[in-house]
Amino acid sequence: MSNFTEKVVQEFRKKVNEAFELQDEIVDTLCQFVEAAHQHVGVPSGRARGPRKAQKPRQKSGYNLYVRKLMADEEIKKLQHTEKMAEIGSRWRGLS
Q: Where are the domains of the chain?
A: 3-45, 62-95
Question: For residue range 39-94, what is the model confidence (pLDDT) as tens digits?
Answer: 777 656 555 556 678 888 889 999 999 999 999 999 999 999 899 999 999 999 99
Angstrom distance (rounded) from CA 11 to CA 17: 10
What's the whole-model pTM score? 0.43
Angstrom distance (rounded) from CA 4 to CA 44: 10
Question: For residue range 11-28, what is the model confidence (pLDDT) as tens digits?
Answer: 989 998 999 898 999 889
Angstrom distance (rounded) from CA 14 to CA 16: 6
Angstrom distance (rounded) from CA 31 to CA 4: 14
